[in-house]
Structure 1
């Protein structure tokens, strides 16, 4: 064993060998990759879908926009009601949330007068609401 190999083993450790085992897929048994020690790491997709939640927020100040963004980053849809905040503050919040939604690959839609639906990338929204709102 050369000096280079000893140095590499000291800092990086010995590499484990991984074996990919492909089994025939059935609805009850998903495809998995097994470690040579036969240890399985399988995650059910149903548990991920069931953990989706929607949050209703009515911010009273611009500082609450970060809390809304945190919900979006946690893969929760947020309905934001901006009717109880000044127009300038509401515009700043919508701009901030638009940037957040863009960064996480989500979507933002207006669903009413000063009410917006912000969704992360794991939630799909279909349909639209006609815009019959008259602006002052």
Structure 2
């Protein structure tokens, strides 16, 4: 900032900010030497949380594997068409508890299809067309 701009700012009381952009590339060696630093190289962060797993369980025992994916910050779409109604209800109850534990969300996508997502994944919107048809089935 020059003296002229300082005087102008002092007398006019403008809230002007001056930003200086510095284009620096962090080498891999430099990032290794700053291990105690709070700076994270964004290129080194992988998008593992954006993975979606599709599951079609056949027994209640497979619910634990599905829950492990949710705990590991992966969204899971579950199709319960191959499971009888009682086991499907138990699976949904178990996964609801898992989703609650990780502050996630569980949403119904179809008559026997659910989406379980951890808190790292934003889910917006809802599907309500099939909900009216399935209330007669006891879901």
Provide TM-score, normalisation by structure 1. 0.67
**Separation in 1 of the partners of 2:82 and 2:96?**
20
Distance in 2, matches of 1:27 and 1:85, equals 58
| 1:43 aligns to 2:40 (yes or no) | yes
Tell me the residue number matched to 2:124: 126
Q: CA RMSD in A?
A: 2.7
Pick the aligned partner of 2:68 from 46, 67, 70: 70
* Residue 131 of structure 1, CA deviation: 3.1
Separation in structure 2 between the aligned mates of residue 115 and residue 101 of structure 1, nearest angstrom: 16
Q: Map 1:1-136 onto structure 2 (within 5 A).
A: 39=35, 40=37, 42-45=39-42, 48=45, 50-51=47-48, 52-133=50-131, 134-135=133-134, 136=137
Mean alpha-carbon deviation: is it higher for 42-51 or for 87-96?
Answer: 42-51
Residue deviations 1:83-123, cap 9 Å, x none?
11000000000000000000010000000011000000100
Deviations 1:67-96 (A, max 9, x none): 000000110000000011000000000000
**CA separation in 1, counterparts of 2:20 and 2:86?**
55
Aligned residue for 2:81, secondary structure, equals: coil
CA distance in 1, matches of 2:92, 2:85: 10
Which of structures 1 and 2 has the bigger CA Rg?
A: 2
SS in 1 for 2:87: helix
Cα distance in 2 for partners of 1:121, 1:25 equals 35
Report the Cα distance in structure 1 between the residues aligned to 2:44 and 2:34, rounded to whole angstroms: 24
**Displacement of 1:62 after TM fit?**
0.2
Tell me which protein shows more helix as a share of its residues: 2
Shift of residue 130, structure 1, vs aligned partner: 1.7
- Gaps (5+ residues) in structure 1? 1-23, 30-36
